[in-house]
Amino acid sequence: MPESEKKTRVLAVSNQKGGVGKTTTAINLGTALAAIGEKVLIVDMDPQGNASTGLGVPRETRRITIYDVVVDGRSIHDAAVPTAVPGLHIIPADADMSGVEIELSQADRRSYRLRDALEAQANGRTGYDPEPYDYVLIDCPPSLNLLTLNAMAAADGVLVPLQCEFFALEGLTQLMKTIDMVRQSLNPALEIQGLVLTMYDRRNALSGQVAADVRGHFGDKVYDAVIPRNVRVSEAPSFGKPVLIYDLKCTGSQAYLRLAKEVVGRERRRRAEPAAA
Ligand code: ADP
Ligand code: MG
């Protein structure tokens, strides 16, 4: 399908450091995008299944998971389930995914399993004509494994959450190397969609310093919207709810709404640009 006709933007939410806000960002950016009218699919690629839990999909109902898509070729349509948020679907994950590495080691197109499934869906090859997703957000595991490679091979862009703390740039060097490697091998078109500063604490001088450093390095790739450290954000998953449903008025929810508007605005501008010759 020519790029101009391609409607869905696939974003891998990735950072090789754990605990930086990948899952929180996938859940809440996904919810905020749906709230402003985009149709969104979250793909839970982490065997820990935190995105599935945080969106209220109980373990016992995870009948078809991303494992079945990647290993057994189940369709996106079969695997996606609705959430309590209108316009937001999720493909859940489960601990049984830890076997993917072995299962796929000899498989054909083993790094392109997710990409192939998403393309089959977008091209209406799954037996019916679904309304396409505007955004697919893939919640990646922190490690560099075949699941992460499947995510990056399927993605148009990488969305990088960065925790505002001293070692923020450390994980980033590793991630940039991975992105370069993926461009050279699996997916030459992969872009850095943007970086989002998370868990920002305005009372802490270090947060401000890290934010300034990151903006110095990455310029306007860094979103203006900054996600504050907010206890409501960390409480929401234990209720199986995105923070926007749990407490719409809190600073965390409002920040994720600003981020969603920025993502959509930038995406519209990117599409309006004439394709580079
Ligand atoms: P990752 O997916 O990168 O491992 P998580 O999204 O799971 O990171 O976040 C790590 C921890 O930090 C979780 O306990 C989460 O609830 C908490 N957290 C994430 N973002 C915020 C925030 N803005 N304010 C407060 N706590 C947060
Ligand atoms: Mg996570």
Q: Cα 35 vs. chain centroid, distance in angstroms?
A: 17
Atom of ligand 1 at shortest distance to CA of 252?
23
Of the ligands numbered here, which is closest to the C-alpha atom of 14?
A: 1
Atom of ligand 1 at shortest distance to CA of 236?
16
* Residue 86 CB less than 6 A away from ligand 1: no
Q: What is the mean pLDDT of each run of 10 residues along the chain (277 residues)?
A: 70 94 98 98 95 94 93 94 96 84 87 95 69 94 92 98 85 89 97 96 90 92 97 97 97 98 95 72
Q: Are the beta carbons of 128 and 3 closer than 8 angstroms?
A: no
* Residue 24 CB less than 6 A away from ligand 1: yes
Write out the two tokens for 217: 């390095």
Protein residue with its CA nearest to atom 17 in ligand 1: 234
* Residue 238 CB less than 6 A away from ligand 1: no
In this prediction, residue 130 carries a pLDDT of 63
In this prediction, residue 144 carries a pLDDT of 87
Q: Are the beta carbons of 236 and 242 closer than 8 angstroms?
A: yes
In this prediction, residue 275 carries a pLDDT of 67
Write out the two tokens for 138: 């893939």
In this prediction, residue 277 carries a pLDDT of 45
* Residue 233 CB less than 6 A away from ligand 1: yes
* Residue 230 CB less than 6 A away from ligand 1: yes
In this prediction, residue 11 carries a pLDDT of 98
Please name each of the domains of the chain with its CATH number: 7-272 (3.40.50.300)
Question: Alpha-carbon torsion 53, 17, 68, 156, what sign?
Answer: positive
Q: Which of 28, 203, 234 to mutate to test the pocket of ligand 1 (most atoms within 8 A of CB)?
A: 234
In this prediction, residue 127 carries a pLDDT of 59
* Residue 23 CB less than 6 A away from ligand 1: yes
Protein residue with its CA nearest to atom 27 in ligand 1: 234
In this prediction, residue 129 carries a pLDDT of 54
* Residue 17 CB less than 6 A away from ligand 1: no
